[in-house]
Homo-oligomer: A and B are copies of this chain.
Amino acid sequence: MTEDAFITFPKGFIATGVHVGLKKTDAPDFACIASKSPCRVAGVYTTNLVKGHSLKRSIDLVNSETTFHAVLINSGNANACIGRQGIEDANRIAKTFSSEFGCNESEVLTFSTGVIGQRMPIDLITAAMPNVVKNISETAESAHLAMHAIMTTDTVEKEAAAQIECHEGVVRIAGIAKGSGMIHPNMATMISVITTDVDMDDSLLSSLLKRITRTTYNRVSVDGDTSVCDSVIIMANGQSGVHIEEHSEAFALFESALYDICEDLARKIAADGEGATKLIEVNVVGAPTEKDAYLCVLSVCRSPLVKTAIYGEDANCGRIMTAIGYSGAQFDPEKVDIYLGSLPVYKDGCALSFDESVAKDILSQKEIGIEIHLNAGDFNDRMWTCDFTHDYVTINGSYRS
């Protein structure tokens, strides 16, 4: 991981974020991340049956085209559930941008995040395209504007970058993400764009992204809601001149660096959950199957009762037992051990008496670890969530207004 954490850190990438008028404030609300040379793209998308129009267009393009130039993302409006008009609007944005930028319309991917069911002010957006293209650059400042432009209820910046040095040369990777509420495995209201100057085959890039997403972005739950727009996109333009094949030493280095970036961004998303004051990491150890391990971490991370108890710094660990109990996972409750941080709170399914002041100390931290030993097999899983607070209710009681 490097300190130069901006999305244009890899060679040949340029970006910007401008205000086109979708957000009520004057903050940037339209991001462009582009590669000077054509790049490859792989993506992982929301599993929601309802998909936003901008996203549907991009999925189709990634499936049918081979090279791309730019990713455009607007916040403030999801461009979802408005019918044919939604696809036409997405096409029009891509067309206007491409003619200004000088590429094919089909090389421009579109993403939208924000309110569902309202048409975007399309004229405002297309009118801003000359300005977008004029401002696009490889500076860190422009890169940060792109990151800010995709933020909605986010309160902290989410970017990460890494550089690997292998036999064949230096490869750079960088990522930005937005995500705060409506976050749940299989994407949720999360958008992440990763850029890299590696030269890698589409199919290898795609399978790598899927594998890494599974244990990073898809292991974050804020509120159990999964949104209609959202995606992780990786853009690889090959400008490092380093070609990486599977099963090579360089591939292992690349995978590890990409994993670190995705994990870092995923943790930042969980920690910045709407209204959150604490990051919670739940580890389940010793499940009989992979699925049982997943069901347990999911159930604990989704439980409003666990999440409010942690907000209240109340070591009410019976709620953790309860959550794994109804998770659908198979295990023997009388073999379960639970730790809060390093403090044993359950042993063989029985509550232990523990020093409440030690528990309070652990719960007063910004990061809380919950470890659950099922003692029923060899499968583990891990997920991040955040506490459930008064501010979550405030934020989501009046999102549109």
Interface residues of A (CB under 8 A from B): 46-51, 78, 80-83, 115-118, 181-182, 184, 186, 223-228, 302-305, 308-309, 311-312, 314-319, 321-327, 329-331, 333-334, 346, 348-351, 388-390, 392-401
Q: From A116, which residue of chain B is reached at the shortest CB distance?
A: B318
- Whether the pair A308, B224 counts as a contact (CB closer than 8 A) is no
- Whether the pair B116, A308 counts as a contact (CB closer than 8 A) is no
The number of times this chain is found in the oligomer is 2
Determine chain A's interface SS by DSSP, over half rule: loop
- Whether the pair A326, B400 counts as a contact (CB closer than 8 A) is no
A304-B392, A388-B393 known; A321 and B224 CB under 8 Å? no
Chain B residues, CB < 8 A from A304: 223-225, 304, 392, 396
A316-B399, A393-B311, A399-B309 known; A321 and B181 CB under 8 Å? no
Chain B residues, CB < 8 A from A333: 49-50, 81
- Whether the pair A318, B78 counts as a contact (CB closer than 8 A) is yes
Q: How far is the CA of A350 from the CA of B302 in the complex (A)?
A: 30
Chain B residues, CB < 8 A from A49: 324-327, 329-331, 333
Q: How far is the CA of A325 from the CA of B333 in the complex (A)?
A: 34
Contact of A326 among B47, B115, B396 (CB under 8 A): B47
Chain B residues, CB < 8 A from A51: 325
Counting chain B CB atoms within 10 Å of each CB, which of A47, A117, A309, A324 scores highest? A117
